Structures are given as C-alpha cells and as structure tokens.
C-alpha cells in the first residue's frame, strides 16, 4: 500500500514539474507510472506497518519532498550542539493537504474515470467473435484483440476511433497486421496475451465428435480450463471415481465436483472417468485396474479457433533458407489460399499466447515439400534453434530448391496443399476427387513447447484406420475416443478392455486410412519421443509428443498396397531373408541343458515335422552373460551346431541387449573392452549407467547410436562365433528392459543446471506432460531418461534403442557370415524391417491371444516388417492340446514361424503334446514348405517393391467395405487365403469370401463364385486349417521335405486356379537363397507364368515354332495355353518344371501337349481338376502347355 502511495506522489510531482511543458503529456506519464505500480499496490495493500517518511520517499528524494510540500530546514541553536532531526521540522498544514487532494481529484481521478467510460463505450460497439470467422481468435472482440495483442505497433489503429468505417476497417487492418506485417523477429519473452474463454453457448453448440482436448493431463477443472481460454462443458451428470484419493465425485451440469467430505482436493480429469493418482503404478498394482477410459473431453478448444496459440507471420511459395531471408507475402484477401507452383512452401508461425506448458517456441518454421508424385512432407520446427530429430531411419532428403533436381511438379502430383492465412494449419487434398485427407486448420490447437508438441486434424468421414503400433488391438482401429501410447516397453501384450492402448515393445507412428471406395493414404510422424495418438469420432487424429519436431510425411497411394510401398520407400525396404529363415523354428526358455535341446530337436524330426532352425534361450549362457555359453550344462554346443549344419539346419542363440557389469576385472572381455572404448550408455555423471537384467550382479548397456558400438559389437559376436558357429541372432530385452526403474536407487532429479542436451534431470525424468505409459513413469523398468547417448539423452532416443541394436547386429552378422543376415528383434521402430524381423513378444497361451496375433502380424506387414510371427502355442502359461493344435496350424502360416514358451510352463513342442498336435503341425508345415517358392517370391516383392507378404483382405479388395474390418483371416500375397480356427471347440469356421472364384486348397473344388462377397461356412476338422486359392492365380510350389534346403532341390510345380475368363497369372523369383545383394546385382532369374485362351501364347508371335508344333498335335488352334517365360536370367534355375495342376477346367479335356509333345494327364470331371505330372521342362527357356 505504502509503495503504491509513493508512486502516486511521484506521479503528482512529475505533473507539477511539467507545468511549463505539455500538461497532457505530463498527465500521461503520471498515469502510466500509476498503472505500472498497481501490482505493487496490491502487494502491499494489507500492510499494517506504521508509515514513516522513508515509506513515502527514499532518502535520495529528500530535496524533492521538501520542495513539493513547502518544508524548510530547521536551524538549530548553536548552544544546543545537537543535530536536528526531521521530527523537529515543521509539518504541512491542512490547507496544503486539501490542495493536494483537490489536484489529485481534478488531474488524476476524474480523467481516469472519463477515459474508462470512453473505453467501455468504444468496446460496446465491437461485438465478440462467436464463430471464429471474424477478426481475431474465437471469443475475442476486435477491441480485445487489439488491446491484448500489442506486440507490434501500427499507427493506423489510433485513427479507427474516429473513422467512419471503424469496425470493418479495424477488422481488416488487424488481420493484415497479424498476417502480413509482423516481421519474424526472435523474441524469447513470453507473450502478454491472456486467453479468454468463449461464451458457454458457443461451446455447447460444438458437436462432441469435434471437441479436442485442451487439458489432457490430470487435475482439470472449470477454473483451470477457462484459464487456458478453453470451453468447459461436461457432457453428462454421473458419479465418477476420483482416482487421486479413491473417493467419489458427483459431477453436476456445470462440471463441478462434489465429494464425499474428506477435506481433500476435488480436481477431476478432463475425461469422463475422472483424475488419476500421481502414482498410478501403485494403484494399478493394488487394484488391478487400467487407466480411466478416454471419452468426450470436458475441457476442449473453442470452435472456429483461428489460432489458439500461434498465428501466421508469412507464407511463401519460394524456398526460404532462413527466417532472416523472409520476404513478406502480401495479402490479396482475407481468406487467401496458397498453392505452390514450385514444389515447396515455407511459412512462419508467431506465438501470440503462451500455452500451459513451459518454454513455448516463439517462432516456428513450416516447410511443405512436394517430394514425389505420391509423397508430401510437412515439417514444423523451431525457426531459430535446432531441436533433436531422430537420426534413424535415414529418410531421403530431396533438394527441391534446385530445378534440375526437382522430382515432381506440383500440378503433376496426386495431391495439393492449402494453407489458409486466416487460420493456423494446412490441408492435404487428393486431386482426383477433391477429397480433404488431413485438415489441421483451426482444428484443436497447435502447441509447440519444448516438451509438449500437439497437432490435431480432421480425416475423411468414412475412413477405416490402421497402424499406430505396437499394440494388441483390432486391425481396423476404433475411432471412438481411442488413445495409443507409443513408448517402447517390456510388457505382456494384453487386449485392453478400455480405450487406453498401453505401450508395448515397438513404436510406429504411422497410420493408413482407407475410405469406403478403397482410396487410401498414409501419414507418418517421424518423431522418436514418447507420444500418444488419439483417435476420435470426427473422425480425427491428434498427435501428442513430448519432444522432437513435427515431421509429417503423407503417402497418397491411392491403393493400400501403394501406400505401404511409398512408406517403405521412405523408411527402407524390407531386407531379403535367407530361405532357411522361412522354415520352421523351435525354441524354449527352459531347455536348461544341451541334452534336452538335442532330445526335443530329434523328436520333432523323427515325427516327420519339417524343421530348419534350432534356437536356445538365456539358459545356454554362462551366468546369463552375453557372448558366453555354459561349459557344463551346454558342453558340446559347438559340435551340436556342426551336426545341425550337416543336416542342412541352422542355429540361432539369444543375444540380449545388456552386458554384465559386475564381473571381476579381466574376466569378462565384453565389459572390459566396452569400458575401454567408452561404448556404454552413461549416467548423468558421465559414468556407465548401471541397472539389472539377467546378469548375476548388474547390467550395462551399449550405446548403439555411438559409432564405436559397431566394431565393439562385431568383435564380441565374432568371438562367440569362433566358438559356436551360429547363423542368426535373436536380440531381446532391447527396449531396453531393466529390472529396476532406472538404477537400484531410482533416477536422479536433483540437478539444477541443464545437462549437455539442454534440460535438467527433473525435466527429463518428470516432464511437464506424461503420456499414460505403463507404470506412470518414463523410467519404469527401463533406463533413466537423463542417461546419455551419443545421439542425445535417453529421453529422446529411448524408442531407437532396439532399432539401432538391430542395425548394428545386422551389420555384424553380415560381416561374420558373408551372407544375408538373419536377425529377430523384440523392440522395433519405423524402418526396422529394413534390417530385421520381429516376433510379437510374450503372448499368453489363450484363445484370445492367439486370435490377437492375426492383426498383429498384419499390422507389422503394414509397417514394412514382413518377417514377423508370434510364439506358436503361446509363451506365458500352459497351453492345451486343442489350443496348441489350432495354433500350430495358424503358426505354420506366420511369415516367421517359431514354437517357443517360458521356463515355468509345460513342454509345448508338438511331440510333447501328443498325436493331434503332431498331426496338425506336420500337415500345416508340409503345406508351408510346399509353398516356399511362392512365399520366397513374396518376400522378394516386399524387398524390391515394398509389397506385403501376409496381408489383410482389403488390400486386394479395397472397394469392398466388408473387407475393411476383417482380421480373423488373411492372405499370403494376392491369391492364397488362410482361415484359421480361433475359437475353442469349433470344427467349422465362418469366413468372408470376396467376389470372384475361390477354390478349396484340399478338394480343388469351387467354394465360391460370386460377383459380390458373402459369408461361407468352411469345414475345419481338428487337424486341418481351411485354405483357399483365388481364381486367376498361378502359385509356384515344390514337393516338401524336412528342410528348406532339401525342398529346394525338388522340381517346380504349378498350381493354377482358373478365373471366370479362363485366365491366370503368376511369377517366380529364383536366386541362390542366401547370398547378399542378388536382386541389386542381377544374380537371379525371374519367370512369368500366363494362362490364356486361344492358339496364341500371350506376348509371342502366333507362328512360333512351339505353337506350330502344338497345332500339329492338337489339330486345332483353340484351347487353353499355359506358358512360362524367363524375363530375366542372371543365374540358371537348376530345377525343371515337374507338374501342373489346374483347378476350374471346363471339360471334357481331350488332350494335353507340352512344347508340342503329347503328354499324359488326368481329369476329374466332378471337381474339374486337371493334373499333368511327370514333366521335365527346362525353366530356363520358354515352355508351352496346351489342353483342349
């Protein structure tokens, strides 16, 4: 109070001194000082200290005080010999005080009241913007917009009060200032605008599906929501549980919570199920509950919000190297839409209102690049400072600023981009039908703080959504308020009953949207930080990450297959596995000895079950240490591996991500050498980070972003390989998993200074916003976020650990063997399929988990990881005979097929579970091995062109909406359907059969021949999995044997399924099945097979020698012609064509010829099945088979 009075007195003094000057200017200065001191006045308003002279003026102001109030110095009597004090000085009389009060009333109070009245009168003539289509953000009048957004001055504003067009002119001028005249200066100070909540009527009118969460964390309340300038509208009146304290909260229509009395806070979560405890991990452990369901948010961004936190500074169709090179782009109208003609656009966004999160980025750069005809990139970054960006995958960088390197002209692309200068955001539109695919303009709000990034967008209204992994979820993702958390974590896959899909082993921030007519597109956010992706009924998507940048890539398809091909073209095509990797694999955690390993392996082979690869889990190691084997329990392991090699088999051991850190110096080289090389992840003190996994004492982790990890890891693998000649690597626990949450003592949070990557320990371990990760702690069962890597803090690179582990291991395997690497990893990230395969982790031995593996397999093919499978019969728990029988049938058609389980479960190899499982496994696996030429060709297509191996039905029938949600049956390629039995006690299965002709693989008869898709019930005996072949398909096969190598030596056979028009086609890729770069270097052969009607082989002259010979044999030019042509021959095909089997041949068949020579055949008139065997046709030349 006293300090406020002091400022008022000084203001009066300023005015009095300026009486010889401009009184209006003096009054303005005085008033400004008064306003500036209002906060101090409030601060001291409750002071009860007795005022003294020094409270009113400082000692330096004595002269001024005396001059102003007529006070004179008192002269002391020399005889008193004392110094006079102020208490001896005269005091001002009552007249002086009255004069001062009068002056204050006339020159301060009355003018202030008058000005306030004028302001209020002026404001009343400028209405509030209700719909966001007027001037300024939604909920602001033009007057409020002008008053609060005074970052930039403009002299024209001062003229509006007296202007005849005041209202309209101000609207337009304000917009021009916001959009075109603000220079992109760098300001680190926080904006001064305070958000204002819109009216309740405006908020309640917004449909629930279009409400984007403004308060995604805990503790939302009406007051906190409106402080963010957002709408607070509870949707229902209900009783909810407040998880903060376990008491009930009754929510009324105004959104206020009334608790049962306990004198505790009643803050509630922004969603319908209330708040959460800070230590949700403890609650979950105690109550066994998941996170509260996501639903319509109570607190959401206002409708029509033109830019809640940011506004455009400039949009240019020219390439702008830096914000310093920015040239302002003039506005032609208020709703100008920009469409580039040069293949790029650059825009700048200026922060005008602070977000609720610390360290907002004041100036953002938005780069739009038309990279290819089908691919678009939109990147939003800090315009003035570099931010962390993931170093992997290494996406191509196209320099579109140089015309000679421009890959596409915008007018030739499948899309266009619109950026509305009046609204923050952009829209991606498909040119062919003018459909908007992604529209972030005034949708939710763009938030770009240091540790909180958020962007929302509307999607096509009839979209089916796929991707966003890794989660146990349906293939067709629901959009009814679903949250998908991406933060790699060692967790048991579980099908969440609520809408929170908790984080699993991998992170793939990529989705594909398919519309009802089959048109598809994909969106990939290249960001490796922890994030969550929200799907809501708009349909709409929200990306919410806690670091990095917003780097969006759009893929325009337009078919689902093309979307995946375009995505893998960016992140890396899948690697080409060796053929033996496509055989059957056998493993268990709990063999415990080499003798037991050998027994199981031999029993499976003796049962006639094909087997290519024997694995060992952790128990082969010495004390759980990588790159060792136990010399006692696994004595003779090198010799056992050599025996496998002699049988044409292979061996794969487990190699965990962690290295033992507790062995005595000099006794464990992997630790000693890693320590010397400085290769381990470091703690915040610069020492190796120490945790605990399977090692006896402690564990340290190599930093695979460090270049020195490559020679280090290669050396360790080479040392083991010299002892045990393994053929592939199984890398596990590489999320990384940790038995501690950080170190044994937790994670450091006491550091007050920023670390080497610019953030304090506490900021990394406990960021301002925490996605609902499992354990409610980023470091839960993993490494501390403050740990240091070569590429950045663990906070940033956590999701890349398993990916970089796979990259380095793949390289090491290539160097070791000089052949194709075979690596299977649990942790994954975008681009993982370029280096390794994946299995779905610790599935439980349940019918539900078995069924959930189908969408998991299909999703990873969409992610570009076609070599994927699940533990056949389940990993955790005890399987049953029926379950394992059905799972063995399904698992035979996983692209990666392995039986594996835990150490505390029963034996579940096929022989251990008895005759039914043996019969099911043998029958299904023999079919798999017979289809190896077809399967291997599919993997080649994935490697060369980005195709999928296992694919959903809608990939082949995108225009059939009934296929969009099917995830209980799937295809190999385009023409082979697998329909597993996924329910207990069933001997028949209902399947959706798309349009066209479909044949039963076993009976060769037509199952369906319809112009539309429909449901069909298929028989499924206990030992049989239903399989169908699509009409129009030619599938290359071989007679199966016990290994892939032995099968490879048999003659090729063709299974032909005739289409309605008596046509079919197929291809065969052939190489030496294990060498490096065979496709890239042309060391392969490629054959095409074609079935047609008539006397002319497609693509050949009708008077060729082969056809003339056929005419002489048949006496007619009419009939069906099956031809095989080598379109590329880099290596010879060492086996010949031995048989042709054709389904759907309209009889009768009178004769068959092969290369002009009559050959024997058999024909079943009932099933219309033609068999031509005992052929020996050279596949390195053209062959022609005809029947009539």
> Token match 């892939």: residue?
1044
* Distance set, CA 683 to CA 669, 691, 792 (Å): 22, 11, 12
Which positions are annotated as active-site residues? 732, 735
Beta strands in 87-226 (DSSP E): none
Nearest to 808 by CA among 708, 953, 902: 708
* Distance set, CA 612 to CA 53, 561, 582, 786, 1143 (Å): 97, 31, 8, 44, 31
Cα-trace Rg, the chain = 37
> Token match 């009113």: residue?
56
For the CA atoms of 939, 940, 941, 946, the dihedral, rounded to the nearest 10 degrees, stands at 80
Tokens of 1051: 């003659």
Contacts of residue 298, Cβ cutoff 8 Å, sequence gap at least 6: 215, 220, 225, 232, 233, 234, 235, 255, 268, 270, 271, 272
> Token match 């068999």: residue?
1171
Tokens of 257: 């919570």
1106, 1099 Cβ separation under 8 angstroms: no
For the CA atoms of 85, 91, 92, 94, the dihedral, rounded to the nearest 10 degrees, stands at 160
Nearest to 205 by CA among 287, 299, 131: 131
949, 939 Cβ separation under 8 angstroms: yes
Q: What would the DSSP string read from start to end of 257-307?
A: EEESSSSS-----SSTT----TTHHHHHHHH---PPPP-S-SEEPPTT-S-
Rounded to whole angstroms, the Cα distance separating 247 from 261 reads: 9
717, 627 Cβ separation under 8 angstroms: yes
Tokens of 409: 């002209």
Contacts of residue 67, Cβ cutoff 8 Å, sequence gap at least 6: none
Distance of CA 448 to the CA centre of its chain: 18
Question: Do β-strands 837-839 and 823-825 pair in parallel, antiparallel, or remain unpaired?
Answer: parallel
Nearest to 369 by CA among 380, 361, 378: 378
Distance of CA 799 to the CA centre of its chain: 11
CB-based burial of residue 297 (10 Å sphere; 0-12 exposed, 13-18 middle, 19+ buried)? buried
Rounded to whole angstroms, the Cα distance separating 1017 from 753 reads: 67
Q: What would the DSSP string read from start to end of 326-387?
A: ------SSTT-EE--SSSEEEEEEEE-S--SSSSB-SEEEEEEEE-SSSEEEEEEEESSS--
* Distance set, CA 275 to CA 272, 281, 911 (Å): 9, 14, 51
Rounded to whole angstroms, the Cα distance separating 24 from 693 reads: 77
Rounded to whole angstroms, the Cα distance separating 795 from 763 reads: 10
Q: Do you find a cis peptide bond into 393, omega within 30 degrees of 0? A: yes
Rounded to whole angstroms, the Cα distance separating 688 from 701 reads: 8
> Token match 């994946």: residue?
838
Which of the 8 DSSP states describes residue 227?
H
> Token match 């008033």: residue?
31
Rounded to whole angstroms, the Cα distance separating 890 from 868 reads: 13
């Amino acid at each position: 109070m006293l300090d406020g009075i002091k400022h008022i007195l000084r203001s009066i003094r300023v005015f009095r001194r300026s009486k010889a000057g401009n009184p209006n200017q003096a009054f303005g200065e005085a008033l400004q000082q008064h306003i500036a001191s209002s906060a101090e006045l409030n601060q001291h308003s409750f002071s009860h200290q007795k005022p003294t002279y020094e409270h009113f003026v400082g000692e330096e102001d004595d002269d001024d005080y005396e001059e102003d109030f007529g006070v004179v110095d008192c002269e002391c009597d020399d005889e008193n010999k004392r110094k006079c004090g102020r208490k001896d000085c005269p005091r001002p009389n009552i007249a002086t005080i009255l004069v001062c009060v009068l002056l204050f009333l006339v020159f301060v109070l009355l003018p202030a009241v008058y000005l306030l009245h004028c302001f209020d009168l002026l404001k009343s003539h400028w209405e509030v913007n209700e719909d966001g289509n007027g001037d300024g953000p939604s909920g602001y009048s033009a007057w409020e917009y002008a008053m609060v957004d005074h970052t930039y001055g403009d002299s024209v504003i001062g003229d509006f009060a007296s202007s005849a067009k005041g209202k309209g002119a101000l609207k337009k001028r304000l917009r021009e200032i916001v959009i075109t005249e603000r220079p992109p200066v760098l300001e680190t100070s926080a904006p001064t605008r305070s958000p204002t909540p819109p009216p309740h009527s405006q908020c309640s009118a917004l449909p629930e599906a279009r409400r984007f969460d403004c308060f995604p964390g805990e503790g939302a309340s009406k007051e906190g929501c409106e402080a963010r300038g957002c709408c607070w509208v509870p949707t229902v009146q209900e009783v909810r549980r407040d998880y903060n304290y376990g008491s009930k909260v009754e929510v009324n229509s105004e959104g206020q919570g009334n608790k049962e009395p306990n004198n505790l806070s009643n803050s509630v979560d922004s969603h319908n199920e209330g708040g959460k405890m800070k230590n949700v991990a403890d609650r979950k452990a105690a109550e066994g509950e998941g996170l509260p369901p996501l639903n319509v948010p109570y607190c959401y961004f206002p409708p029509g919000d033109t830019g809640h936190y940011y506004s455009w500074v400039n949009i240019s169709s020219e390439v702008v190297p830096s914000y310093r090179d920015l040239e302002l782009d003039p506005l032609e109208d208020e709703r100008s839409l920009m469409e580039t003609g040069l293949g790029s656009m650059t825009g700048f966004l200026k922060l005008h209102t602070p977000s609720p999160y610390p360290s907002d980025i004041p100036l953002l750069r938005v780069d739009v690049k038309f990279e290819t005809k089908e691919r678009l990139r939109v990147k939003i970054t800090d315009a003035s400072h570099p931010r962390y960006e993931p170093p992997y995958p290494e996406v191509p960088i196209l320099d579109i600023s140089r015309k000679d390197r421009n890959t596409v002209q915008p007018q030739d692309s499948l899309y266009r981009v619109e950026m509305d200068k009046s609204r923050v955001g952009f829209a991606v539109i498909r040119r062919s039908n003018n459909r908007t695919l992604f529209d972030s303009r005034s949708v939710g709000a763009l938030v770009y703080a240091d540790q909180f990034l958020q962007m929302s967008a509307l999607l096509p209204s009839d979209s089916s959504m796929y991707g966003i992994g890794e989660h146990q979820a349906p293939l067709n993702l629901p959009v009814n308020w679903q949250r998908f958390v991406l933060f790699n974590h060692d967790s048991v896959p579980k099908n969440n009953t609520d809408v929170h899909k908790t984080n699993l082993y991998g992170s793939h921030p990529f989705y594909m949207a398919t519309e009802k007519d089959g048109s598809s597109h994909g969106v990939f956010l290249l960001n490796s930080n922890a994030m969550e992706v929200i799907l809501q009924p708009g349909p709409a998507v929200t990306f919410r990450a806690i670091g990095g940048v917003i780097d969006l890539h759009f893929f325009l398809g337009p078919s689902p297959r093309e979307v995946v091909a375009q995505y893998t073209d960016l992140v890396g095509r899948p690697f080409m596995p060796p053929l033996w990797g496509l055989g059957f694999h056998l493993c268990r955690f709990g063999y415990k000895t080499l003798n037991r390993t050998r027994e199981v392996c031999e029993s499976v082979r003796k049962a006639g079950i094909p087997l290519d690869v024997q694995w060992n889990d952790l128990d082969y190691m010495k004390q759980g240490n990588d790159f060792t084997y136990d010399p006692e329990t696994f004595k003779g392991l090198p010799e056992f591996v050599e025996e496998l090699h002699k049988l044409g088999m292979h061996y794969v051991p487990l190699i965990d991500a962690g290295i033992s850190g507790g062995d005595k110096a000099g006794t464990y080289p992997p630790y000693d050498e890693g320590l010397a090389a400085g290769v381990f992840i470091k703690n915040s003190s610069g020492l190796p980070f120490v945790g605990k996994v399977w090692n006896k004492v402690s564990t340290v982790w190599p930093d695979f972003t460090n270049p020195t990890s490559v020679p280090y890891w290669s050396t360790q693998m080479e040392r083991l390989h010299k002892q045990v000649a393994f053929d592939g690597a199984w890398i596990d626990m590489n999320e990384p998993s940790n038995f501690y949450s950080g170190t044994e003592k937790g994670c450091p949070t006491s550091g007050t200074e920023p670390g080497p990557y610019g953030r304090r320990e506490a900021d990394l371990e406990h960021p301002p916003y925490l996605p609902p990760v499992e354990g409610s702690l980023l470091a839960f069962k993993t490494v501390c976020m403050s740990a240091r890597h070569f590429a950045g803090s663990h906070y940033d690179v956590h999701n890349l650990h398993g990916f970089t582990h796979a990259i380095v291991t793949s390289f090491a395997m290539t160097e070791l063997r000089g052949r194709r690497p075979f690596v299977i990893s649990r942790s994954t990230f975008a681009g993982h399929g370029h280096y390794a395969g994946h299995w779905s982790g610790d599935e439980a031995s349940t019918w539900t988990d078995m069924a959930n593996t189908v969408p998991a397999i299909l999703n990873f093919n969409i992610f570009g990881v076609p070599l994927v499978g699940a533990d056949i019969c389940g990993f955790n728990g005890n399987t049953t005979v029926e379950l394992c029988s059905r799972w063995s049938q399904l698992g035979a058609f996983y692209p990666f097929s392995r039986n594996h389980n835990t150490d505390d479960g029963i034996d579940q190899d096929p022989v251990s579970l008895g005759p039914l499982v043996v019969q099911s496994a043998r029958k299904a696996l023999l079919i798999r091995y017979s289809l190896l030429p077809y399967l291997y060709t599919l993997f080649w297509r994935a490697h060369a062109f980005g195709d999928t191996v296992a694919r959903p039905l809608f990939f082949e029938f995108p225009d059939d909406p009934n296929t969009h949600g099917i995830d209980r049956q799937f295809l190999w390629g385009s023409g082979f359907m697998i329909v597993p039995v996924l329910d207990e006690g069933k001997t028949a299965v209902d399947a959706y059969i798309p349009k066209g002709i479909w044949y039963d693989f076993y009976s060769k008869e037509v199952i369906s021949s319809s112009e539309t898709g429909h449901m069909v019930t298929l028989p499924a005996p206990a030992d049989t999995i239903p399989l169908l072949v699509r009409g129009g398909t030619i599938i290359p096969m071989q007679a199966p044997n016990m290994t892939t190598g032995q099968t490879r030596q048999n003659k090729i056979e063709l299974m032909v399924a005739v289409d309605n028009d008596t046509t079919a086609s197929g291809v065969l890729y052939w190489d030496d099945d294990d060498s490096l770069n065979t496709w890239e270097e042309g060391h392969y052969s490629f054959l095409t097979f074609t079935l047609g009607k008539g006397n002319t082989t497609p693509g050949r002259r009708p008077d060729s020698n082969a056809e003339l010979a056929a005419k002489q044999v048949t006496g007619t030019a009419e009939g069906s012609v099956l031809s095989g042509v080598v379109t590329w021959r880099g290596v010879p095909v060492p086996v010949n064509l031995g048989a042709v089997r054709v389904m759907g041949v309209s009889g009768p068949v009178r004769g068959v010829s092969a290369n002009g020579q009559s050959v024997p055949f058999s024909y079943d008139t009932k099933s219309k099945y033609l068999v031509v065997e005992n052929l020996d046709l050279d596949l390195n030349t053209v062959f022609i088979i005809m029947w009539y």
